[in-house]
Every structure is written in C-alpha cells, then in structure tokens.
C-alpha cells in the first residue's frame, strides 16, 4: 500500500528516485559540484554522496543566490536531483528548482521523517505530494 505525504507544491512536475535526506541545510554554491553532483562541503552530513537522480530532502538552502544557477548547471550536466523537498522553501532553492525544471515541494507532513533513506519515492511538485510504496517506519 502506498503512503502519501502532503505538503505545499512549489515547482510543478514529478520526479522519482531514492530518498536522500539531510538534517542540515545545503549550499549549492561551493557545497555541491555541478559537474558530478557530489556534495563537497566539508563537514556536511552528505559529504561524498551524489544528489543526482535522488529525491533530495533537506531543511532549506543557504548561501549565495548563485546557488540557483548551480541547480541549473546540475540539470544541464545530467546530475540534478529528481525532485527536492524542503521543510521550508526559500528563494535560492525555489528559483533554482524552477529554472532547472526540478519538481519541488515544502512543508511536508512530519511523517516524512519515518521514510527510510533510500526508499524509492515520487514527488508531485504541483500537488505538493510525496508518495512512497510500503509502510512508514514505526507503523
């Protein structure tokens, strides 16, 4: 049975991939390599992991407004996330998602924290819904 996590739709479209979650904000400028999609920010919990093709869940963005263009470059290089989910969207990530065509939602139901990392999920950025197959942890 599928579980649906509702939130607020930000950037339309759908994206499917394994969930990659961070408890820390992400700065795309200097924090993610636009050519490889690898997180390169020293000390970041996702250091050494790729954002390519995943549904990337993190609290919010941080850093320079140029981070929006890094998201665009990731798309251009075939290394963009399949979708983005933020606890609270802010302009840097929203603009980047829109110009790169990355589906995005924010303000997800707290049940999102019970989805195991790596679980295949689908985000509908227009509806503001994340769907995963199977039961959530703790159910």
Catalytic residues, by residue number, are: 64
Distance CA(66)–CA(38), nearest Å, equals 17
Q: Is 70 exposed, middle or buried (0-12, 13-18, 19+ CB in 10 A)?
A: buried
DSSP state of 41: -
Closest to 106 measured CA to CA, from 85, 123, 90: 85
Closest to 100 measured CA to CA, from 6, 10, 2: 10
**Residue 5: how many CB atoms within 10 A of its CB?**
22
- To the nearest 10°, the Cα dihedral for 82, 31, 107, 85? 10
């Amino acid at each position: 049975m599928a579980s649906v996590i509702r939130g607020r739709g930000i950037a339309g479209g759908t994206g499917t991939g394994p969930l990659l979650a961070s408890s820390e904000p992400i700065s795309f400028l200097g924090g993610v390599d636009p050519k490889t999609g690898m997180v390169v920010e020293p000390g970041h919990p996702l250091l050494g992991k790729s954002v390519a093709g995943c549904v990337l869940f993190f609290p919010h963005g941080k850093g320079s407004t140029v981070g929006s263009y890094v998201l665009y470059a990731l798309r251009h290089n075939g290394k963009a996330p399949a979708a983005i989910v933020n606890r609270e969207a802010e302009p840097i990530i929203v603009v980047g998602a829109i110009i790169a065509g990355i589906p995005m939602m924010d303000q997800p139901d707290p049940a999102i924290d019970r989805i195991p990392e790596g679980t295949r999920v689908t985000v509908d950025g227009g509806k503001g819904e994340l769907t995963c197959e199977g039961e959530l942890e703790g159910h």
